[in-house]
Amino acid sequence: MAEIKTDLLVIGAGSGGLSVAAGASQMGADVTLLEGHKMGGDCLNYGCVPSKALLAAGHAAHAMGAGAAMGITPVAPEVDYAAAKDHVMQVIDQIAPVDSQERFEGFGVRVIREFGRFIAPRKVQAGEDIITARRIVIATGSSPLVPPIKGLQDVPFYTNETLFELREKPAHLIIIGGGPIGMEMAQAHVRLGCKVTVIEAMQALGKDDPELAAIALENLRAEGVEILEDAPAQEIVGQAGNIAVETPKGRVQGTHLLMAVGRKPNIDALDLNKGGIAHTGKGITVDESLRTSDRKVFAIGDVAGGMQFTHVAGYHAGLIIRQALFGLPAKEMTAHIPWATYTDPEIAQVGPTEEQARQIHGDKLEVARFEYAHNDRAIATRRTTGLIKVMVVKGRPVGASIVGHQAGELIATWSLAIVNKVKMSGISAMIAPYPTIAEVNKRAAGAYFSPKLFDNLRVKKVVRLVQRYLL
């Protein structure tokens, strides 16, 4: 048994943990990193990367039958589902070296491939090693939540951690959960030739702006995805290849089952009580600086109980570097954190939705809208399904909601504007190349100013006076 003393102990080699370890080590700290499973965590191996790779395969298949309006004869694609999964694994393999043990050891990080658990405050056991650290960062992420539905324990099912290992194309995939993971996988599979039914206890894409979610869901239904809303799964019966889910709206019969109802923090194996770390079922309790009840122990990413996105974990890592290495204050801000759902059309959000913003700001809120149908690039590429809404208070954007082509790319502009307190006039002054989808953002800002300029009698009087006396 080895006794290790280190400046910084990072528990978990997902996105947040790796960012902390790389930054701290390269800046001169003695860093120890624990990972008992796969380097790269959920995002690389089971989440963001494989899901977007499978969506890309589905997009390629869909494109073969979507060109009639442009003079391209539709052709039914021949889908090799196993080969599509090979593509997914190749994408993971190509990115994996960036997160590898060898790369981080090259940075000077001490990498121990064991799970860690607290045995005392700021003391952790990993395998046969006992590590004492000046500061600790818990970055253990989250795992799929499996709800206690009657009969589920007796039926084979997949989660995002096992779905990408499936090689046989499902004839009829049942997905329980209509959030981002469920809807993305629904569209990917229907485009790859599967029948798909989504069962949602409340509203599909319920965390998004309802107007925008309705646009995305309409397109999913048009492509053949059956979506049952307000239909909680009551009981599941069957066996491999023949599974039935009972709902208040009837029985759904399929061949494969995917559970996509949410995530739970990975805290059960940490023995947090021995480390004096306060926690709840939602995750580790942290303050606005991401400190736990032990001020020298931090928690970041999904395990901290907040927004569950890879880019949030990366953002948290920067806050930890500032505090743990330089002793400088840093507080988490969430107003500028965007997120996206990569269905087609995509949905993206930063800040409050229109409904949320009205509750916060009341009559002070103005909403600027612009439809993709008026964007020339969208017209040229037949991508006119889409809408942007910008929530504005006193001339500054406080939130933006986008549904449409490249929404996930467009939302970054509004995150930049919010965090830097850029006014709508600043967005309006931006020059976007013509013709691009990026003009959607500029035109939304223009839509904010149009009634103030074109429907304003005072402006018209001033213009007439200037024209009368201007030499």
Q: What is the pLDDT of residue 456?
A: 67
- 239-242, long-range: CB within 8 Å, 24+ apart, which pairs? 239/155, 239/156, 240/156
**Per-residue pLDDT tens over the stretch 122-139:** 999 999 999 999 999 999
For 204-233, what is the mean pLDDT? 98
pLDDT digits (tens, 9 = 90+) for 306-335: 999 999 999 999 999 999 999 999 999 999
Q: What percent of the chain has pLDDT over 70?
A: 98
Please check if 181 is assigned to a binding site. yes
Mean pLDDT throughout 214-232?
Answer: 98
Q: What is the mean pLDDT of residues 394-410?
A: 98
Q: 263 falls in which pLDDT band (50, 70, 90)?
A: very high
Distance CA 254, CA 171 (A): 8
Alpha-carbon gap, residue 64 to 72, rounded angstroms: 9
- Radius of gyration over every alpha carbon of the chain, rounded to an integer in angstroms: 25
Q: What was the pLDDT predicted at 464? A: 75
The response to whether 318 counts as a known ligand-binding position is no
Task: Tell whether 200 is in a known binding site.
Answer: yes
What pLDDT score does 461 carry? 76
The confidence score (pLDDT) of residue 452 equals 72
User: Which pLDDT score, from 0 to 100, does residue 466 have?
Assistant: 76
Q: Does 302 show up as a binding residue in the annotation?
A: yes
In order of 27, 31, 39, 389, 437, the CA distances from 401 in angstroms are 38, 40, 34, 5, 15
Which pLDDT tens digit goes with each residue over 75-103? 999 999 999 999 999 999 999 999 999 99
116 belongs to an annotated ligand binding site? yes
Residue pointed to by tokens 């399929």: 254
**Was 428 annotated as part of a binding site?**
no
pLDDT of 49 above 80: yes
My answer on whether omega of the bond before 265 falls inside 30° of 0, hence cis, is no
179 labelled as ligand-binding?
A: yes
Looking at residue 462, its pLDDT comes to 73
**Domain 338-454 superfamily per CATH:** FAD/NAD-linked reductase, C-terminal dimerisation domain (3.30.390.30)
Question: Known binder of ligand: residue 262?
Answer: yes
For 345-376, write each residue's pLDDT tens digit.
999 999 999 999 999 999 999 999 999 999 99
Kindly state which CATH superfamily the domain 152-261 is placed in.
FAD/NAD(P)-binding domain (3.50.50.60)
Instruction: Write the Ramachandran bin of 230: left for phi over 0, alpha for psi from -120 to 50, otherwise beta.
Output: left
Q: Encode pLDDT of 154-173 as tens digits.
A: 999 999 999 999 999 999 99
CATH architecture of the domain with residue range 3-39+100-144+264-326: 3-Layer(bba) Sandwich (3.50)
- Full DSSP string of 412-442: HHHHHHHHTT--HHHHHH----SS-TTHHHH
The pLDDT-based confidence of 454 (bands split at 50, 70, 90) is low
Chain center to CA of 44: 13
Closest CA to 407 of 379, 422, 427, 388: 388
Residue 73 assigned ligand-binding role? no
Per the structure block, which two tokens stand in for 411? Answer: 């939302």
Query: If you average pLDDT over residues 45-74, what whole number do you get?
Result: 97
Sequence-ordered list of residues with C-beta below 8 angstroms from that of 450, at least 6 positions apart, any chain = none
pLDDT value of position 95 = 98
Annotation-wise, does 182 bind a ligand?
yes
d(CA 464, CA 458): 10
Residue range(s) in the chain whose domain bears CATH number 3.30.390.30: 338-454
Say whether pLDDT at 453 is over 70.
no
User: What pLDDT does 471 receive?
Assistant: 54
On whether 425 is known to bind a ligand per the annotation, the reply is no
pLDDT of residue 455: 67
Whole-prediction pTM value? 0.94
Percent of the chain at pLDDT > 90 equals: 95
> How far is CA 394 from its chain centroid?
30
Q: Where in the chain is the domain with CATH 3.50.50.60?
A: 3-39+100-144+264-326, 152-261
Kindly list the strands in the beta sheet with 172-176, ordered across the sheet, starting from the edge strand earlier in the chain: 226-228, 195-199, 172-176, 256-259
142 is in an annotated binding site: yes
